[in-house]
Structure 1
Amino acid sequence: MSKKSSAPVLPKALPVNAVLGLSDPAEGDWTRMRGLQYSSLARVTTLRVGAHALASLGVCWIYFGTVHWAFLLAWLGTLGATLYYGARIDADLVDADRRRIGRDEVQRQTVGAIANALAWVIPMAFFAPYGSDLAKMELWAICAMLMTACAVMLPAVPLANLMFTGIVGLASLASFAYTLTFEMMIVSLLFIAVVVKGAIENARSFLTARVAEAGMAERNEVVSLLLKEFEEGEADWLWQIDTSRRVRSASPRFAFALGLGPDEIDGKSFIQLVAGPAWETGMFPPSLHDLAERLKRRESFSNLLVRVTIGGNQRWWELSGTPKLDDNGNFDGFRGVGSDVTHERESSEKIAHMARYDTLSGLPNRMMITEALGEAMRYADQWRTRCAFLMIDLDRFKAVNDTLGHLVGDQLLAKVSERLRSICSDNELCGRLGGDEFAIVVKDASDPTRVGRIANAIIEVLSRPYEIDHHTLYIGASVGSATGPRDGTTVETLMRNADLALYRSKEEGGGQHFKYEPELHALAEERRKLEFSLRRALERNEFLLNYQPVVDAKDENIVSFEALLRWNSDEHGFVSPAKFIPLAEDTRLIVPIGEWVLREACREAARWPAHVKVAVNVSGEQLLDTQFIPSVVNALSISGLPAQRLELEVTESIFVRDAVTARAALEQIMALGCGIALDDFGTGYSSLAYIRNLRFSTIKVDRSFVQGAATGSPESLAIIRAVVAMAESLDMSTTAEGVETDAELNVIRQLGCRKIQGYYYGRPMPALEARGLFATPTLQRATA
């Protein structure tokens, strides 16, 4: 029952000012209380008018002959007018208990009482002086009767009673004072006090009774609503059993819940009806056992969840029951209420499942994996065994996801999940941590070779090809593992150490399994410190550029320099680019660092001869940044370097991440007049689609092919010939990287590469030293 009564709250206390209507306390709905007060006036209007009429006739009888009849008639008219006015007000207030009574209506009723009282002052003031002392006493008796009658008949409006009693009483006191009848003054004063006190107490009793009646009416209404709602409810029903636990007085709704008619279940065993086939076998579910025990012990129960079998189907009932007693206090069975909560139960179970399982793969999620690892660690601690935790990261999954879309990526993750599930035994729990990260909890890893076998199986199985939407996909897996309690005594520690081992596997190129080693912490700490220093390197001016010359293969003249970033840290000294460049890309610091490189390289190149270009390496993070094109324009405009003298070097990996955005950015750069060089061609995906769709200015042949060609490798020779021929046909230039010996130089010249870069002609050098090379027309060869 979720509904609440909208009835106003009745007051609990009745202060005098509130009873008189002089104030409305904050507690309780006094507007409604006024309605209960004044609605009763209409019921005594006739009696009140009749009392005043009899009293007025008595006055006329006393003073007839003493007071001129015209005055008596005028007074009767005045009194009748006040009574008529009051009766009209009473009639308007007859429905006050069903509405809110206004302050103006209360004031009108009080004004009517005052007018009526003033009408009775007239005989006291004008008739009494002309009569005898006996007539005066008779008039006082009539007024006292009226005051008493008002207090008795009008308990609902004590303020009107007090007004009438006060005005008429004061007039009587004045009259007795005028004639110096002091004993009557005292009697009148005492009488007035008694009437006032009685009127207030009578009013309080009246209101207390009305509050009780209204409260009872509200409770009856609430009970009626509850019963009506219960009877109209679709899932709730009443049940009743006798001392033998047999159904008695079966309600139609209870019978419907059992799938039978009321006559079919009356007198049948309650437990038998809900047990189904379990009644014959005795294999009751625990919840039904619990119900039977409570009935046997004759104890009350509430919201007991019981699994029952109705018509061969499993259902869930929520039952509440209490023992009932006969007139002698003896146990007479049970009665209670029940409802079918099967749908609610299934919904809660579904929610609980969703909270613990990954919706895409159907594997346990991070929360359940964490719980399982905690249980495995407790088991290992109890039985002095070992447990293990393996973290798995998919290699090259991001390339699939970015090139073929998330739908294919999700299907691939589902297939990966199936393969991982097939590897695990009862001793292992496999789950998905999120994204392309998975984990396996090994409950008992006492066998020292167990973890290695699982990790190798993971790498081997996940590296097999996948067939999805007519695509044959190849990915791999990197695995990091930690063994408890050796590598950690808490869940958090073990998971963190396995993650460190996984990171080591990814650093080594992926497709491998690494176990946690204590020195990994030192490497992680070193990386953290290096990242902290890298974030401040720009502010501290710790970066510098070196320039490596690129020469024409025929005349050996310098045609360009490649700008290479170097970092000389105050804390770490000279840091290898192989260490800080990947870190900068992971943290996206490569974007502001790359902007600085562009500005500095263009500024330096502006000092060189007009025919010499500068080449700047650009990472995927930079190219996909929305501010990259403006940063190129800004670098050119600030330095004054013509766009034709700037060449940006990119690798094929940028197309794997977001080919559409990368291509659009490169086309805008070429529209500015800048050249685009494809670096390390032949070592990545080597898709000819990139070269077909974009007109690169230069294709750079990786040094591995140069070295292979110098040693006579047929494959390397064939690849270089093919690249040179393709570049010539597409009007592109070729640059051979890593030339260091005479043999390599001769082979490259014979194969037709136009430009040469390598230690043979110069190592990367500071800007001032690079400028000095322009003093000689031909670059001096370095000694091998």
Structure 2
Amino acid sequence: MQKNGWTKVIASIVCGLLAVQFGMSSVNPVFLFVWFASLCGLYLHLHFKVRRDNLWQRKTISRSDTIMTHVSAAAGASLWAIALVVFGLTADPPAMLGLWSIVLCLMVGSAMLLSAIPSSSLIFILISGTASCFGWYLIGDLQLTLTAFATTVLLVSSCLMTGRAFVERKIAEANLHEKNETVSLLLREFEDTGADWLWQTDTSRRITHASPRFAHAVGLSPGDIDGKPFLQLVAGQSWDSGKFSSELHDLAERLKRRESFSNLIVPVEIQGELRWWELSASPKMDESNVFHGFRGVGSDVTEQRESADKISHMARYDTLTGLPNRLQLMEALGKAMQNSDQWNGRCGFMMIDLDRFKAVNDTLGHPVGDRLLARVSERLRSIMSKNELCGRLGGDEFAIVIKDANDSHYMESLGKKIIDTLSKPYEVDQHTLYIGASVGTAIGPRDGRTVEMLMRSADLALYRSKDQGGGAHNQYEPKLHVHAEERRVMEMALRKALDNDEFSLNYQPVVSADTGGVLGFEALLRWTNPEFGVVSPAKFIPLAEDARLIVPIGEWVMRTACKEAMKWPSTIKIAVNASADQLSDPDFLDMVVSALQESGLPAHRLEIEVTESIFMREGTGAAEVLDQIIAMGINLSLDDFGTGYSSLGYLRKTRFTTIKVDRSFVQGAAKKVPESLAIIRAVVAMADSLGMSTTAEGAETEDEVKMIQKLGCRKIQGYYFGRPMIASDALELFAGYDMSQIRGGYAA
């Protein structure tokens, strides 16, 4: 290969020398020298690069090698094209004819030598051929111009044909090689593994020349098999009854019609045991096309069949509960909708979400949660009829496909039955667990003409049930879609609210129960949107949490509230609410410190309010964050105490500054409700013993205020002393007072 490479280089240099000789009499010698040097340098460079990369020794070349070959062909053709154009401009016709002869030889050689890379050959021929036509045109010889053009077209066509033939030949060789490899592999596998056997029948479909492997598969000796009908061996006891499976009927028909078959899976009975065989065979024909029986190969694929069945079962059933999974549910729903369309009926789809299941997972762990899900699936399965298919969508979500949903009363009773059944207590690992269920139902095709639309409608109905606090069953209504679309649009507007300066803060005073003097304010977020107007916090705060917008919004509230508090007397505190999402944010503490430094507000004047829900999130590190907040000198308040999952353990782990008593207890105490009175007394006594303060929320009447004072709460917050107000109104409460001397008087 190295000698052939040098031969090509020498041949190219000789061609260059001949071209120089042709042009000595009429072409600029300097141009000839530079051109010849460039030609030699190019071909020498290409030779050493090919030799270094060992390109011609490879069976395949990379994309970069192909590009290099294209560039090389283009560079060589360009040098000869330059010579042709210069000769056309300055040389006489004989010199041009000599040069063209050389280039023509190179074009023919390119078409032959670069057949493996026809694109490179085409590049060389097109550039050189075009330059030849242009050179003869410059000389003024139209006949030779046309001749050069025709020659170029002919060579291009020849190159394409040669390249195509080369590619087809290589493909044929590759296919043949692959077939040979496949046949060799099959033969080796057949000879070595012993998994397959040969079988042969005569014209009466009786076994002839039974192989030992075939006899072993049947469980008989070769002598006992010879002469027996092939179908009798395969059918087993069903041979006498004539009750064949559909696969055996198919096999019998193919043998009867003398048809070839391949990879035919049939059930066989071997000594009372069901097995699965894979059979392939073709009829034996002699030179006169006379039928002499069948010759085939078989193998026992029972294990593969069982594995395939197991995989198919796993693909369609939930591994934890054994119920149909989402895939099978969607298939069943699609079939139910088709039947409904065909018979002008109705089908139904119910989505079930477990209430309070997350609390079980968070407190007792996922293993207990998994066992609880298994118990839930058992209860659901027990109340299903042939009209329903129950499955698990994932997590704590289940679904039911109702094939016939024409009876609306039946749908209502089924939804109530599901809720009642799943709400009964469970005994799991010595734990008595109480959960519930929320159900949403959609009727097809009324609520959706496709599987996706019907599932979406049921999901919206379920969302409404969850909004009602759980334990409810709702059917889809068109207004639910409108509500969902409104929620989507509101979320988009909420994402732009900060940038559009649509948020504001109101401040509600917190006063001393003894003197009525202002001790601080609670910052309350308000949102005014051009499209939605004033949006209730109860509406947009949960939306902000779901959309993961509460962290940037909470940061804006913290910074704004701290700046405003600096305008008040030095004894007045500001309380800011913080959600569980904010506390789980790793940058929360840094943000609080930054807000204090930026505003200049002392840490003891800031109070952060949290609810008990932060302790229900496992792994968020909320308790550690609260400890660091207290260590910074910031006050900590536990809001809505007594309304959620109240636990004295929270107060033991975290040193809160204030416990806020919910307004529902305040109103109950004013009405002399014994439970409310007892709860407030207990909270006040507990807070006093722990060195904490108590704030009663929602005081609206004088009777409520007097009751709060009587029960011993130290601070009061409610409409009786002041509604939430804008920043300027809050500042006016201190008008006329010396800011440096105020110690907490109430300026109303």
- Report the TM-score range of the alignment, normalised by the length of the smaller protein: 0.7 to 0.9
1:276 is aligned to 236
Give the drift of 1:660. Answer: 6.0
1:601 is aligned to 561
Aligned pairs for 1:211-610 within 5 A = 227-326=187-286, 329-610=289-570
Q: Is 1:625 equivalent to 2:607 in the alignment?
A: no
Residue 444 of structure 1 aligns to a residue in which SS?
coil
CA 1:435–1:228: 2 relative to 1, 3 Å: closer
Give the drift of 1:226. Answer: 5.2
Residue 617 of structure 2 aligns to a residue in which SS?
helix
1:148 is aligned to none
Q: 1:645 aligns with which of 598, 605, 619?
A: 605
2:406 aligned partner, one-letter code: S
**Equivalent residues of 1:403, 1:657 under 8 A apart:** no
CA 1:286–1:218: 2 relative to 1, 3 Å: closer
Give the drift of 1:749. Answer: 0.6
Give the drift of 1:218. Answer: 13
1:779 is aligned to 746
2-structure distance, mates of 1:371, 1:545? 52
Give the drift of 1:438. Answer: 1.3
2:142 is aligned to none
1-structure distance, mates of 2:631, 2:178? 84
Structure number with greater Rg is 1
1:748 is aligned to 708
2-structure distance, mates of 1:345, 1:576? 61
Give the drift of 1:293. Answer: 1.2
Q: 2:660 aligns with which of 674, 678, 700?
A: 700
**Equivalent residues of 1:761, 1:779 under 8 A apart:** no
- 1:57-108 Cα deviation digits (max 9, x unpaired): xxxxxxxxxxxxxxxxxxxxxxxxxxxxxxxxxxxxxxxxxxxxxxxxxxxx
- 1:188-216 Cα deviation digits (max 9, x unpaired): xxxxxxxxxxxxxxxxxxxxxxxxxxxx9
Give the drift of 1:376. Answer: 0.7
1:525 aligned partner, one-letter code: E
Give the drift of 1:221. Answer: 10
Answer with 327-336 or 763-772: which moved more: 327-336
Residue 345 of structure 2 aligns to a residue in which SS?
coil
Give the drift of 1:231. Answer: 2.1
Residue 408 of structure 2 aligns to a residue in which SS?
coil
Q: RMSD of the alignment, in Å?
A: 2.4
Residue 449 of structure 1 aligns to a residue in which SS?
helix
Q: 1:689 aligns with which of 649, 659, 683?
A: 649
**Equivalent residues of 2:660, 2:695 under 8 A apart:** yes
- 1:645-691 Cα deviation digits (max 9, x unpaired): 11111111111122661111111111111111111111111111111
Aligned pairs for 1:1-16 within 5 A = none
1-structure distance, mates of 2:589, 2:366? 28
1-structure distance, mates of 2:259, 2:478? 61
1:388 aligned partner, one-letter code: G
2-structure distance, mates of 1:657, 1:679? 17
CA 1:407–1:678: 2 relative to 1, 3 Å: same
Give the drift of 1:373. Answer: 0.9
Residue 445 of structure 1 aligns to a residue in which SS?
coil
2-structure distance, mates of 1:624, 1:412? 28
Give the drift of 1:220. Answer: 10
Give the drift of 1:237. Answer: 0.8
Give the drift of 1:542. Answer: 0.6
- 1:303-331 Cα deviation digits (max 9, x unpaired): 11111122222211111111113565432
Give the drift of 1:470. Answer: 2.3
CA 1:492–1:409: 2 relative to 1, 3 Å: same
Aligned pairs for 1:156-195 within 5 A = none
Count of residues in Structure 1 that have an aligned counterpart in Structure 2: 572
**Equivalent residues of 1:761, 1:780 under 8 A apart:** no
1-structure distance, mates of 2:182, 2:419? 69
Answer with 485-494 or 286-295: which moved more: 485-494
- 1:368-419 Cα deviation digits (max 9, x unpaired): 1111111111111111111111111111222222222222222222222221
Give the drift of 1:222. Answer: 9.0
Residue 499 of structure 2 aligns to a residue in which SS?
coil
Q: Which runs of 5+ in 1 are unaligned?
A: 1-17, 24-215
Q: Is 1:715 equivalent to 2:682 in the alignment?
A: no
1-structure distance, mates of 2:449, 2:182? 60
Give the drift of 1:223. Answer: 7.0
2-structure distance, mates of 1:478, 1:669? 38
Give the drift of 1:780. Answer: 6.0
2-structure distance, mates of 1:385, 1:538? 50
Answer with 216-225 or 554-563: which moved more: 216-225
**Equivalent residues of 2:517, 2:747 under 8 A apart:** no
Residue 407 of structure 1 aligns to a residue in which SS?
helix
**Equivalent residues of 1:398, 1:657 under 8 A apart:** no
Give the drift of 1:277. Answer: 2.1
CA 1:220–1:530: 2 relative to 1, 3 Å: closer
**Equivalent residues of 1:304, 1:320 under 8 A apart:** yes
- 1:625-656 Cα deviation digits (max 9, x unpaired): 22212111111111111111111111111111
Give the drift of 1:228. Answer: 4.5
Give the drift of 1:359. Answer: 1.8
Compute the TM-score of the two structures, normalised by the length of structure 2: 0.74
- 1:212-266 Cα deviation digits (max 9, x unpaired): xxxx999999977754442222211100112222211111111111122212222
- 1:344-373 Cα deviation digits (max 9, x unpaired): 222222222222222222211212111111
1-structure distance, mates of 2:620, 2:232? 70
**Equivalent residues of 2:458, 2:475 under 8 A apart:** yes
2-structure distance, mates of 1:219, 1:383? 53
2-structure distance, mates of 1:580, 1:222? 66
1:487 aligned partner, one-letter code: D
